[in-house]
Amino acid sequence: MRKVIRFSDPVSIYARASAVGKTEYDGPLGALFDFHDGTDRFGADTWEKSEESLSLAVLNFALARAGESQDEIDLLFAGDLQNQCVASSSGCGTLGIPYCGLYGACSTSGEGLLLASLALAAAPSLSRAAVVTTSHNAAAERQFRLPLEYGGQRSPTAQWTATAGGAFLLCRSSEPFAPPSAPRIVACLPGRALDSGVTDGANMGAAMAPAAADTILRYFSLTGESPSDFDRIVTGDLGAEGSALLSELLRDNGLDLRGRHRDCGVLLFDPLKADVHAGGSGCGCSASVLSALFLPALERKELRRVLFLATGALMSPSCLLQGESIRGIAPLIVLESGKTGGDK
């Protein structure tokens, strides 16, 4: 139960897609995303529908890239931040692929990749699985915070829910159609819902950092590996605040990531150009950055081994007002580059 799950037949991410809204497109990674919508509306008239439309479009993009139709996908894991994950069920869920809705807050991308890998490893009758996660700033603000046009100042530790989505198509790497160069998920370690003690809804980074530290420390102590075995240790959306807290927590426990740590929430925005405070967040943040930045680097073999931890703050506005603290979660997957060119 508390073991690292290793896949004897690793799971290949054979196709991927990413999409973002305006602020994210204007950020430092803007040119890397597959498509964007400068109006953030993705052709819909309400923000909730915009996210549905984003969710559908990003999966369709991945399918088109793989040259496949939805009928070839056996199982879909998808999630977002809206109630009952409607952006997923009414978005990519409409393609008719058997669907499992996921709610792991901003960690949903990692949770989905982990569960899809487990499903493919456990059930030989499944050949292809898809993972889609999205978030939309306007839909999230409406659901969790204040009206869009409300004039308020955000706390310096607050993070910015990204308008972004990522889609991934997965199969066992032994399948004949699996491209040898595709990055692989070779192992995973589920996160634990860890009480951070943080009761400030505007400091999600602090709420998630202990969970991320917990998973990282468990992984290294269970495997005997060290950070130097990885080219990058990527967290989902701890932001500037959470990243600093993570490295302090790890140092307390005798672990130094030695400059290998990157955070998708920090990478997504340029703090000098966009006043996003501590960085980006949301289900789409880590999904889009993984899809647009780290997977291509693994495909090009600029990176060989990457530890990817999506991080989630499992926050309910009602429970927060009732004085409960926020639990964080950080599922981990180990990514390796594919096996072409005779290496490895």
Partner 1 sequence: MNFDRRRYLERVKERESGSPVFKNCFFAYLFGGGICALGQLLLSLYLFWGLSERDAGTLVTVTLIFLSACLTGIGVFDSIARIAGAGTLVPVTGFANAVVSPALDNKSEGLVTGVGAKIFTVAGPVLLYATLSGALYGVILYVVRLFL
Partner 2 sequence: MLGAPLDYLFAFLVGGLVCLLAQLLIDLTKLTPARILVVYVVLGVFLGAVGLFEPLADFAGCGITVPLIGFGGNVARGVREAVSETGLLGALTGGLSAASGGTAAALCFGYLVALVCHSKPKHP
Rounded to a whole number of angstroms, the minimum distance from the CB of residue 314 to partner 2 is 22
Q: Is 152 in the site for partner 2 (CB under 8 A)?
A: yes
Question: Both ends of the chain: CA-CA distance in Å?
Answer: 30
Q: How far is CA 80 from CA 51, 207, 219, in A?
A: 9, 19, 26
Residue 163 interacts, among partner 1, partner 2, none and using kind-specific CB cut-offs from 5 to 8 Å, with partner 2
Residue 278 interacts, among partner 2, partner 1, none and using kind-specific CB cut-offs from 5 to 8 Å, with none
Rounded to a whole number of angstroms, the minimum distance from the CB of residue 140 to partner 2 is 11
- For 327, phi and psi rounded to 5 degrees? -95, 145
Sign of dihedral through CA atoms 283, 286, 290, 291? Answer: positive
Residue 267 interacts, among partner 2, partner 1, none and using kind-specific CB cut-offs from 5 to 8 Å, with none
- Minimum CB distance to partner 2 smaller for 148 or for 222: 148
- Minimum CB distance to partner 1 smaller for 16 or for 277: 277
Query: Any residues with CB less than 8 A from the CB of 17 and at least 6 apart, and which?
Result: 34, 58, 59, 61, 62, 65, 166, 167, 291
Of 161, 156, 163, 132, the residue nearest 144 (C-alpha)? 161
Helical (H) or strand (E) element with 314: strand 312-314
- Tokens for 266? 């920090």
Cα(329)–Cα(207) distance, rounded to whole angstroms? Answer: 9
- Minimum CB distance to partner 1 smaller for 252 or for 343: 252
Rounded to a whole number of angstroms, the minimum distance from the CB of residue 27 to partner 2 is 11
Interface with partner 1 (CB under 8 A), residue from 39, 46, 69, 83: 46
Interface with partner 1 (CB under 8 A), residue from 45, 224, 322, 342: 45
Cα(119)–Cα(125) distance, rounded to whole angstroms? Answer: 10
Q: Is 157 in the site for partner 1 (CB under 8 A)?
A: yes
Of 94, 53, 52, 51, the residue nearest 76 (C-alpha)? 94
Interface with partner 2 (CB under 8 A), residue from 9, 72, 141, 195: 141
Rounded to a whole number of angstroms, the minimum distance from the CB of residue 61 to partner 2 is 21
Interface with partner 2 (CB under 8 A), residue from 5, 9, 22, 143: 22
- For 162, phi and psi rounded to 5 degrees? -75, 145
Instruction: Please tell me the count of residues contacting partner 1 according to CB under 8 A.
Output: 36
- Minimum CB distance to partner 1 smaller for 69 or for 155: 155
- Minimum CB distance to partner 1 smaller for 43 or for 156: 156
The conformational region for residue 108 under phi > 0 = left, psi -120 to 50 = alpha, else beta, is alpha
Residue with tokens 């199969």: 171
207-236 binders of partner 1 (CB under 8 A): 210, 213-214, 217-218
Residue 217 interacts, among partner 1, partner 2, none and using kind-specific CB cut-offs from 5 to 8 Å, with partner 1
Binding site for partner 2 (CB under 8 A): 21-23, 39-41, 47, 137-138, 141, 147-149, 152-153, 160, 163, 269, 274-276
